[in-house]
Amino acid sequence: MTRGIILLLVVLVFRSATTGASDIGEAENWLRHAESTLAKTESYTALFHKQERIQGKLTDEETIYLKFKKPFKVYMKWAKEPHKGRESLYNEGYNDNLLKVRDSGLAGIITVNIDPKGVLAMKGNLHPVTDSGLGHLVRILRENWEKGVKAHEIDLREQGKERVYGRTTKRLEIIFPKNKVRGYYCYRALINLDVETKLPVRVHIYDWDDTLLESYGYEAVKLDAGLTEADFDPTNSEYRF
């Protein structure tokens, strides 16, 4: 091997290692900034996009208008098919901590109160409504990220900038050990971080077979939306419970 080739390899290795350390620090700062932003945000609205693999089959994407307010109040209305017109409301500490749902059934349009983690509520869902929102998503990402960095078994790949929902985002790929027993949430995650807010606006999650397991997107996020108790009151005239 010539001296020139050896020198080139040394430079490439040094550059890769230096960039990797810098990228890891930057990505960690973005996640912490997102968590800090959400900690200071009392309420927000968004158009929530959701797609999950249920019993081996990827569901059609759902588009849901979402309202969120602390301590934990969530209102959702499905804006498109499937399930267009469905409404759900969960207000922690009220209604016996039951999920109120208005949807079509055998008896027509009905409103029911159900266990948020029960069979009916979980039908067609990987996660309960109590795991809803940007805060939960950021927390899961941050916890797995910190575990992987500490164990030196995480691979971060930057994939440049991408426009998502009309926003400029930084696209990151995070790869964890391809071994479920290591205790990570997934094998691989593709994350689009909003350049301005640092919030994740879209996330694709892949299982240990590298198959898309779930995809979540937050479009038109409005932080500090000024939501009030009326936004989580089932008697609100804008709702049809």
- Residue range 202-239, pLDDT digits in tens: 999 999 999 999 999 999 999 999 999 999 999 999 99
Least Cα distance to 123 among 94, 99, 140, 97 occurs for 99
What pLDDT, on the 0 to 100 scale, is given for residue 22?
54
Phi-psi category of residue 238: left, alpha or beta, with phi > 0 → left and psi -120 to 50 → alpha: alpha
Residue type, 154: I
Find the Cα–Cα–Cα–Cα dihedral 134, 136, 142, 147, rounded to 10°: -160
pLDDT higher than threshold 50 for residue 194: yes
**If pLDDT is split at 50, 70 and 90, which confidence band does 21 have?**
low
Angle at 137 between CA 133 and CA 142, to 5 degrees: 145
Residue type, 202: R
3-state SS, residue 200:
strand
What pLDDT, on the 0 to 100 scale, is given for residue 217?
98
Residue type, 111: T
What pLDDT, on the 0 to 100 scale, is given for residue 106?
55
103 CB burial (10 A radius; 0-12, 13-18, 19+): middle
- By percentage, how much of the chain surpasses pLDDT 70? 89
What pLDDT, on the 0 to 100 scale, is given for residue 7?
33
Distant-in-sequence, close-in-space partners of 66: CB < 8 Å, separation ≥ 6: 45, 46, 47, 48, 74, 75, 76, 132, 133
3-state SS, residue 24:
helix
Q: Report CA 233 to chain centroid distance, whole Å.
A: 25
pLDDT digits (tens, 9 = 90+) for 36-84: 999 999 999 999 999 999 999 999 999 999 999 999 999 999 999 999 9
What pLDDT, on the 0 to 100 scale, is given for residue 25?
86
What integer is the mean pLDDT of 5-14? 33
Where helices occur in 61-217 by DSSP H, the ranges are 119-122, 134-150
Contact 142, 124 (CB under 8 A): no
